[in-house]
Structure 1
């Protein structure tokens, strides 16, 4: 159960209601602690452009039918949630540029109340309303998850699915098939010739998959966002696809070593692939953090002048285009500002969890922020 509403998380009066990513992390953590014995907690997502009056009218209609709820304490809790939401929405004239999110609720067991209204750091893409036993924060979690992408490839001898993993979101980009006949059974010269034709058809299909993967993944690779590629599928096709070097070297270098047995294609197969690779992905992300931390330590050991630390020095390096890599702990109060500065200089951004040895070292040694340089500043 939740202990305190802590409404101070979001200012009561704000011209835009826009919050930072770090602020959103705190809010999501807060809301996840709320659990109600009945469907009394209201979650509302309003995309930009939606008239406030339409949403308020919808909520009033919902409020008008709550008298049908038989259990009094549940009815009271739902009416409280709806009334709070209507009051908050009635105080503004227009949905902000990034949309608006409301979470209002009363726990009928504890009588605790909460009502938060804010505009998230990324645009709201859906119109969603529900009262439930918990707050629906899943649409916000992708905004605060890491922005790295992982390519997903499911490969068989005659079918393939290509997708992307971003944070907790899996997106299917393409699914296609090729007719490849089974084995020839007549034997002799005819069988050997037929087998060669089939092998060539399979090879051509693998080449098609590799070329399509290149088309879909290359923009992310060029932006430095593609951190790895997972390959799965049934049988030996995935192994043949990798060892046959059908993928261009830039993409082969990103293939995560463990090939994963997956029994399906399409969206179901992609979900299975990601689920089975959860430990591998975690190790891969952490490995990247370790490599960058070790690179920073190496520059420090050499005293070669290719490193900086502290907000002002890192910011200065970014502003003059010298910053190659920003390392910053995920709980740093200036993380949004530092990420924005680093992006302008096309620097790589490495978010380091504070509860890792690298995060603890970064925090205790440099206040949580340091950088690797392209060239010396002095």
Structure 2
């Protein structure tokens, strides 16, 4: 499918979270010819500039040498479109850059990222999305709610960019002065004021979570206020609490991100392992599961896949017909498709399955090697029906 008019040009001037990139829309774009250039550049550290230039020069030459004269001309025009973006210095906070381009379609997307992608340059019939998918799996959006009995701050962390979304505070001592009260009376009123403040925080958390699309949030802070707050949260919001951890209120932003990322990493590993276990159980019991490239491909084409499971770091050679999308694994491409006589091209089948999952609104989970039940198959699927 050709890109829509509103999709032709996207140029970010500052680093953007990975989740801001419309990967599902990009997965809809493809052509019969190899006209889409995808470039992934890690940019943190000065040594990367030299290594990137060597890699880029080598890959560009290799791609040119492999193309027919007509496609070589298209490719050279495309690289001229992106040359300045490939070699320019990073802006503040930019640790990676992803570029998708096609001169034939006047298509140019440049994304500056706060995180590092894998180094890669690919010319294909569509934007190459697998490295971007892995980034999205590693850097999901989540929140950190830092709270004590006087103050609450909700920070949203997106691809290591921390943005404070909400801040509430109360001055308990000014509201409740001792005067002639007994200590017991004063303590009772103070506890009531703390509960009132935390109830206000709980209401704000529900509103904030409703406005932001996040995996969940970490409840953090010193003392017992965070546990009290959790008990005041509505049940549906409590289910979004990823962990409760001790943390000082004056923690630096970098330390906040580091602590939150550690929680998210552990949570992701646990979720991935659980999905792998669910998949294994479904296979053993003859449940709603498909495994192996062919069965998973068929289930995706029929729109039956709820969650596509991909073994991390996996790759499967194969070919695809760019006209009818006939996808075959572990085979050399014939001169023409046996279904429609259309042109064929060599592909990474895992990449094609990922794109197909995006087009059919299936979830995707990258599974660790030790959790995947059958490493010979590389992919599996939990089915909707």
1:296 equivalent to 2:279? Answer: yes
Shift of 1:94: 4.6
Shift of 1:252: 1.2
**Structure 1 residues 176, 42: closer, same or farther in 2, change over 3 A?**
farther
State TM-score, norm by structure 2.
0.57
1:339 equivalent to 2:349? Answer: no
Q: Which residue of 2 is the match for residue 351 of structure 1?
A: 366
Q: In structure 2, which of residues 238, 242, 252 is the aligned counterpart of residue 252 of structure 1?
A: 238
Name stretches of at least 5 consecutive residues in structure 2 with no aligned partner: 1-33, 54-75, 90-96, 102-107, 119-130, 316-348
The 1-side partners of 2:172 and 2:110 are apart by 44
CA deviation string 1:194-244 (max 9, x = no partner)? 5444433322322232232222323556xxx51x421111222222212xx
Matches within 5 A, 1:226-241: 226=215, 228-241=216-229
Assess if the C-alpha contact under 8 Å between 1:42 and 1:103 holds in 2: no
Assess if the C-alpha contact under 8 Å between 2:220 and 2:247 holds in 1: yes
Q: Which residue of 1 is the match for residue 306 of structure 2?
A: 324
State TM-score, norm by structure 1.
0.58
Shift of 1:327: 0.6
Name stretches of at least 5 consecutive residues in structure 1 with no aligned partner: 1-13, 45-88, 105-116, 127-135
The 2-side partners of 1:137 and 1:196 are apart by 48
Q: Which residue of 1 is the match for residue 267 of structure 2?
A: 284
1:215 equivalent to 2:230? Answer: no
CA deviation string 1:29-51 (max 9, x = no partner)? xx779838xxx85999xxxxxxx
Q: Which residue of 2 is the match for residue 314 of structure 1?
A: 296
1:185 equivalent to 2:178? Answer: yes
Assess if the C-alpha contact under 8 Å between 2:148 and 2:249 holds in 1: no
Q: Which residue of 2 is the match for residue 272 of structure 1?
A: 255
Q: Which residue of 1 is the match for residue 326 of structure 2?
A: none
CA deviation string 1:113-135 (max 9, x = no partner)? xxxx9725995456xxxxxxxxx
Q: Which residue of 1 is the match for residue 192 of structure 2?
A: 200
SS of the residue 1:363 aligns to: coil
Matches within 5 A, 1:33-112: 35=47, 41=50, 94=81, 100-102=85-87
User: Aligned residues, how many?
Assistant: 269
Shift of 1:162: 0.9
**Structure 1 residues 307, 123: closer, same or farther in 2, change over 3 A?**
same
Shift of 1:288: 0.8
CA deviation string 1:65-90 (max 9, x = no partner)? xxxxxxxxxxxxxxxxxxxxxxxx99
Q: Which residue of 1 is the match for residue 155 of structure 2?
A: 163
Assess if the C-alpha contact under 8 Å between 1:229 and 1:256 holds in 2: yes
Assess if the C-alpha contact under 8 Å between 1:162 and 1:174 holds in 2: yes
The 2-side partners of 1:216 and 1:187 are apart by 40
The 1-side partners of 2:211 and 2:303 are apart by 22
CA deviation string 1:251-306 (max 9, x = no partner)? 212323442222326xx3x53333235544332211111101110111122123x1
Assess if the C-alpha contact under 8 Å between 2:114 and 2:160 holds in 1: no
SS of the residue 1:235 aligns to: coil
Shift of 1:95: 5.6
- Name the structure where strand makes up a greater proportion of residues: 2
Shift of 1:336: 4.1
The 1-side partners of 2:356 and 2:36 are apart by 22
The 2-side partners of 1:163 and 1:288 are apart by 23
User: Which has the higher relative contact order, 1 or 2, with Cα contacts under 8 A spaced 6 or more apart?
Assistant: 2
Assess if the C-alpha contact under 8 Å between 1:323 and 1:372 holds in 2: yes
